[in-house]
Amino acid sequence: MLKKKKIGLREIAKQTGYNIGTISRALNGQPGISRENAERILKLAYDLGYRNSALKRIAVILPSMRNTLQWYSLNLINAICQTALKRSACLELIFADQVEMMLDRSVSGIISIDSSNMILHKIREVVPFVTINNYADIQDDMYSISSNMQNGIGKALRLLNSYGHRKVGLYITGRKTLNTQSLEKAFRADLAPLDMTGEVAWKYADGKSPLYSFGGILSLLEKNVTAIIANDETISTEILAGIRLCGKRVPEDVSLITWEVPYFSKFQDPPLTTVSQDFQKLAESAFDLLEQIAQKKKPPMSTSIDCILIERNSVACPFKQKTRSRNRA
């Protein structure tokens, strides 16, 4: 079997008509070449089969600068950084609304954590490209790594069921996207096999509520749920405050499961039982996928990473909640 010839600068120059110096500047992200020529050379080089020998520089596409980076994004970025350190890769962090800035640079791969898909309309796929948790618009030809949020909801419900809860609320934040709608669907689907019933509330669902963002929490408590699952890393402190503002205590009156914020959730009062996205595994799987694509392997287009349930002190048996409520009365 003949060994495939490695594509180098001379082969690229011969095929494209550009001189070696210009090609070198384009492939190494150096100045002295227009963005249009750099982008064209990068695309032609990739089409010819040019690949860096190792993952040296990875572009990480962040959400728009208009969006404040919350716990979720920070945790994911930290995991990507730790993985890059282990693999001796350099990172370029680029906001989605400034993605044109990277079009004249040579990178070994792209990881996007921008769920708005802004990048898809601004950049051509000329290098291995992977999205993380891009639930909004996964395309058939797009490689993706995603947390199995439905798996996390199921684990939370089974834990509450084991404590004797039979009526549970799901508190969803954010817009009604494919992701949040799939969470609601998974929540409702998992209730029946566990002989449980459920209520769903959306943050800001009741814009006229005197509790403002706590309107959804109040609506759940008024429907006599004995436990609440909240789906967002940023919501734990807010939902604790909302429950207390409604005159209830965790876990004495209502049990609470939120999404995990490392080094934070365990220090809440009470320490929170959480569902955790496996950020490190998400990052490592994204780097693995980039390597497989660069090596012309045929990995699966989508990979799902199960969530982790972390038990602490914010869940109690509902009969104890009722007993304490009667004692206070």
pLDDT in tens, 244-268: 988 999 999 999 999 999 889 999 9
Residue 3 domain-assigned?
no
What does the pLDDT look like over 183-224, one tens digit per residue? 899 999 999 899 999 999 887 544 444 444 577 888 899 999
Per cent of the chain over pLDDT 70 is 81
Q: Are residues 322 and 184 in the same domain?
A: yes
Cis peptide before 63 (omega within 30 of 0): no
Distance CA 71, CA 68 (A): 10
- Average pLDDT over the chain, rounded to an integer: 82
Q: Going by C-beta distance under 8 Å and a sequence separation of 6 or more, which residues neighbour residue 113? A: 60, 61, 62, 63, 73, 76, 77, 80, 131, 132, 133
Residue 1 domain-assigned?
no
Q: Are residues 77 and 90 in the same domain?
A: yes
CATH number at residue 63: 3.40.50.2300
pLDDT tier, 326 (very low <50, low <70, confident <90, very high otherwise): very low
pLDDT tier, 105 (very low <50, low <70, confident <90, very high otherwise): low
**Domain count within the chain:** 2
Residue 240 domain-assigned?
yes
Q: Are residues 209 and 112 in the same domain?
A: no
Written as six digits, the tokens of 170 are 């799901």
Distance CA 125, CA 319 (A): 56
Q: Are residues 234 and 209 in the same domain?
A: yes
Q: Are residues 299 and 214 in the same domain?
A: no
277 versus 183: the higher-pLDDT residue is: 277
Residue 20 is part of which domain span?
Answer: 9-147+282-305
Q: Are residues 107 and 137 in the same domain?
A: yes
What does the pLDDT look like over 11-61, one tens digit per residue? 877 777 888 788 777 776 666 777 777 777 777 776 776 765 544 788 899
Residue 260 domain-assigned?
yes
Q: Are residues 137 and 26 in the same domain?
A: yes
Q: Are residues 257 and 268 in the same domain?
A: yes
17-54 core/surface letters (b: 16 or more CB in 10 A; e: else): ebeeebbbbbbebeeebeeebbbebbebbbeeebbeee
Mean pLDDT on 138-159:
87
Residue 20 domain-assigned?
yes
Read off the pTM.
0.77
